[in-house]
Homo-oligomer: A and B are copies of this chain.
Amino acid sequence: MKVLLTNDDGILAPGLTALHASLSREHDVFVVAPESEQSAVGHSITLADPIRVKIFRKNGMRGYAISGTPADCVKIAVTELMEEPPELVVSGINQGGNVGINILYSGTVSAATEAAIAGLPSIAVSLNTYAEPDFAVAADFALHLTGILPEIGLPAGVSLNVNVPPLPRERIKGVVWAHQCQAPFEETFSRRQDPRGNTYYWRGGERPPGDLDERSDAALLSRGFITLTPIRPDLTDHEELARLGSHNIAI
C-alpha cells in the first residue's frame, strides 16, 4: 500500500524511524512529519503562520519536514505534497501512551482523526513508556495490523487508536478492543519564581490511582494488553441529544 507516515514527536524521533523501517518491509512509505516536537498540541492547526516545507532525505526515509502540527502534516500531504492520496495514514510510534482523556491532547491521535475526516483509513500507534523505549514490538504489530485492516473493515471516518505496553512480545497478554477511559487526571501546577522574581508554573498531573473501568483502554493497557480503540471525530453526546431534542428553549 501507499502509506503516509507522520507523528507528533518530530521527523527525527526514533519511534518514527522504527515504524518507517517496519512498514517499508511491505509498503511504499512517504513521510510528512513535523520538523520539531509537537507533543500535546491536540488537534491544532496552523492558521496565523505560514507553513514551511523542507524536503527530507535521511535515515533511509524520503518525504517532507513541516513547520506545523500533525494535523497540518496530513492536510498538506494529502492536498499538496503527494501525487496521489495515500491508501493508509499511520501516525507514531508515539513515545508515551495515548489512552483516556489524553487522546484529546494527543497530536499523534489527531493526525489519525484528521485522516479520518479526509475519508482515509488511519492508525495511531503509541508505546506506553517514556524510559528508554524499545519500539520493535510496537513497530512489528503495526505492520501486522496493516495486513489485517481489510478484514477488520473499519468504515470511512473511523480511525484505530493503538496502544502497546512496553513489554517483550512473550509477556504481552493479548490484543483487546477497548473504549476511551473517561477518568480525569489529577492536575498539579508547580509554582516557581524566575531569576527576575516573576512567578511561573510547570504543569503536571497524572491519573490518580484507583479503580478504572476495567474495559477501558487505560485499564487494559496497564494490565499488559495491546489495546485497539475505534475512534471517530464526533464529540456529540448522542444519548443526551436524543433526550434533549424535544426540550424547547425560547430565545
Contact = CB atoms under 8 A, between A and B. Distances in A.
A3 interface: no
A235 B104 contact: yes
Given A45-B105, A232-B240, A51 B201 contact: yes
A109 B44 CA distance: 12
A25 interface: no
Interface in A172-228: 172, 174-175, 177-180, 182, 184-185, 187-189, 191-192, 194, 198-203, 205, 226, 228
A251 interface: yes
A44 B42 contact: yes
Interface centre among A50, A145, A201, A205 (most CB of B within 10 A): A201
Given A41-B44, A203-B75, A236 B241 contact: no
B43 A179 contact: no
Interface residues of A, number: 87
B182 A251 contact: no
A240 B230 contact: yes
A58 interface: no
A59 to B, nearest CB: 23
21 contacts: A43-B105, A45-B105, A51-B202, A52-B199, A75-B189, A75-B205, A76-B189, A80-B189, A104-B113, A144-B251, A145-B249, A172-B251, A174-B251, A179-B238, A180-B235, A180-B236, A226-B251, A229-B241, A230-B244, A232-B236, A234-B237
Closest 5 CB pairs of A and B: A42-B43, A230-B240, A42-B42, A50-B200, A42-B44
Interface of A: 37, 39-48, 50-53, 71-72, 75-76, 78-80, 101, 103-105, 109-110, 113, 117-119, 141, 144-145, 148, 152, 154-155, 157-158, 161, 169, 172, 174-175, 177-180, 182, 184-185, 187-189, 191-192, 194, 198-203, 205, 226, 228-238, 240-241, 244-245, 247-251
